[in-house]
A = this chain, B = another copy of it.
Amino acid sequence: MPAYRAPLDDIRFVLHDVLGTEQLRALPGYEEVTPDLVDTVLDGMAQVCEEVLFPLNQVGDQVGSTVADGVVTTPPGFKEAYATFCEAGFPGLSCDPAYGGQGLPLTLRAVLDEMVCSTNLSFGMFPGLTYGAYEALHAYGSDELKDAYLAKLVSGEWAGTMCLTEPHAGTDLGIITTKAVPAGDGAYHVTGSKIFITAGEHDLTPNIVHLVLAKLPDAPPGTKGISLLLVPKYLPTEDGRPGTRNGVTCVGVEHKMGIKASPTCQLQFDNAKGWLVGEPHKGLRAMFIMMNGARLNVGMQGLGLSVTSYQNALQYAKDRLQMRALKGAARPDQPADPIIVHPDVRRGLMTMKSFNEGARALAYHVGMEMDVILHHPDPARRQEAEDLVALLTPVVKAFFTDVGFESANIGLQTYGGHGYIREYGMEQYVRDSRIAQIYEGTNGVQAMDLVGRKLPAEMGRLLRRFFQPTHELIERESQGDLKDLAEALGQGFRRLQQGTQLILAKGMRDPNEAGAAASEYLRIFGLVAVGAMWLRMARVAQDKLAAGAGPKEAFYRSKVVTAKFWMTRILPQAHGLMASIAAGGETIMALEPDAF
């Protein structure tokens, strides 16, 4: 049976020592966010995730959510766990206090996301989608809609969904056919088929609030004619209870590779009553509010599952006795040595560890920038943060989920044959993490977002928000005790700069050249971005060691070693990736479809 302990030491290291919780507290609105408060909140999250969510993860996979006659039943224990989750106030952790939210930093929400994804990804989908609905409604909803729905979403009493995809329209939302026809009373009648709707129907809450993309009768064609509508499962009564059943039905639940406890629904809307969120035809803007948050959350899924896979692989590597160390028996008292003595096993563990800790630091860094966007008094600083978050969103989504999947596979591999057996739990992490590379925009779409939108945006301003501080960081560390690390990061960074120039130059002439380079470029970006966080973490750790770290010496030494591992054993992938980009798109575009 797998186990999970929230990596609180590592999390606190990033929050308090590397990023600095005092940065949060300095933001207007977060005055009460003391280090003590942060630690208390972390402890509460850890407890619920370890003791309530994680024990349901395997049963959730084995039983799954099922549908019969349009009614979806979640696995045993999910209802009770959801109640506990809501009682703890987690759905509204970072939500607006005006609607009952706790108003805590988004940085802490990122931590919660990590822990939830580590312990029960399927469970996390329910409040995750609800939060997305909250965000869109909070940003674009009319006062009437906000008053009627927001408090219910913040408390978790009602759940939310995002209804985008149709059978013929996934990435390509411009060709959706769901219609919204004015009902005459300010409301609309929504009709159409949606698929892949996460938590589209379930028994955790008495009502579900669907946010649905649809076309109004006078909609211009393509993405410029998409509207966002709020369609509740039950129309609320005057006093806020679920009233009349609305015309939306679950007609099926997909059989999936993983996240089986999360019901992925086919929904049929038949003249369902709905209300516009935001302006007509401008639904994509509101949708992207949800989508950007969701993309960062999906990145956390890659990280979260990698963390659990790592913890269990590590324990297995310490326990499993097999063969002898290459330089002679490490445990001559035993019939064989624990497999953690073997270099190739260690290589796998270090790969996971260096990704987990580096990606976590980057994710929380992004979280903190999101708090800056919300609360910083200086508009220039807010813009800076907004640029950086926009730039890094596709990187976090795609890089974290690609490497998270690889990492979950390393964890499985560490177990040998036992990794392939259901009861050990490791193969579930692989199956569950696989979806994260696909939904909320496939990782290929993320790469196109990065090179096609984010790179050229504002004459490269977004890019400079990352390049400038990274350059300064490398410069700053290029002389002292971390100069080897800075030099290694610098090499990777130069590859990233070369790739950028190449894409901008070639892509200007031929957009297919940018497209052919996009995925490999995004991966270089992720390698360097995580590398930059490692250099910052190594700096903090070295300073702690220099100051005398006492009982935490091994902890900080481990940080420095792991930073070096990332820089010298993982980051060099950038060399090969850059060589591949430099070869251009000719061989990719050459063949006619029938010549494949």
Contacts and interface: CB of A to CB of B under 8 A. Distances in A.
Interface of A: 165, 168-172, 175, 195-196, 254-258, 314, 317-318, 321-323, 326-327, 335-336, 338, 340, 342-350, 353, 405, 409, 412-413, 416-417, 419-423, 427, 430-431, 434-435, 437-439, 442-444, 447-448, 510-512, 514-516, 518-519, 554-555, 557-558, 561-562, 564-565, 568-570, 572-577, 579-580, 583-596
Contacts of A442: 413, 416
Nearest to A171: B322
B421 A254 contact: yes
A396 to B, nearest CB: 18
B587 A318 contact: no
- Interface of A: prevailing SS: helix
Best-surrounded residue of A195, A342, A575, A587 (most CB of chain B within 10 A): A587
Given A168-B321, A326-B515, A416-B171, A579 B575 contact: yes
Nearest to A590: B561
A188 to B, nearest CB: 24
A422 to B, nearest CB: 4
A286 B317 CA distance: 30
A19 B5 CA distance: 56
A422 B256 CA distance: 5
Contacts of A171: 322-323, 416
A336 B591 CA distance: 20
Q: Give 10 nearest A-B pairs by CB, closest first.
A: A343-B515, A576-B576, A572-B579, A568-B583, A326-B511, A565-B587, A257-B427, A344-B444, A255-B422, A343-B516
A347 B593 contact: no
Contacts of A447: 344
Given A344-B515, A585-B343, A438 B416 contact: yes
A569 B582 CA distance: 9
Nearest to A564: B587
A102 B384 CA distance: 73
Contacts of A416: 170-171, 438, 442
Contact of A417 (B196, B335, B510): B196
A59 to B, nearest CB: 14
Contacts of A347: 516, 519, 588
Contact of A594 (B554, B569, B589): B554
Contacts of A519: 344, 347
Contacts of A515: 326, 342-344
B336 A589 contact: no
Best-surrounded residue of A317, A348, A516 (most CB of chain B within 10 A): A516
Best-surrounded residue of A195, A353, A438 (most CB of chain B within 10 A): A438
A321 B169 CA distance: 8
B596 A353 contact: yes
A490 to B, nearest CB: 14
B443 A326 contact: no
A341 to B, nearest CB: 9
17 contacts: A256-B422, A256-B427, A257-B427, A326-B511, A326-B514, A327-B511, A338-B593, A343-B512, A344-B516, A346-B588, A350-B591, A417-B438, A554-B595, A558-B591, A568-B587, A569-B580, A573-B576
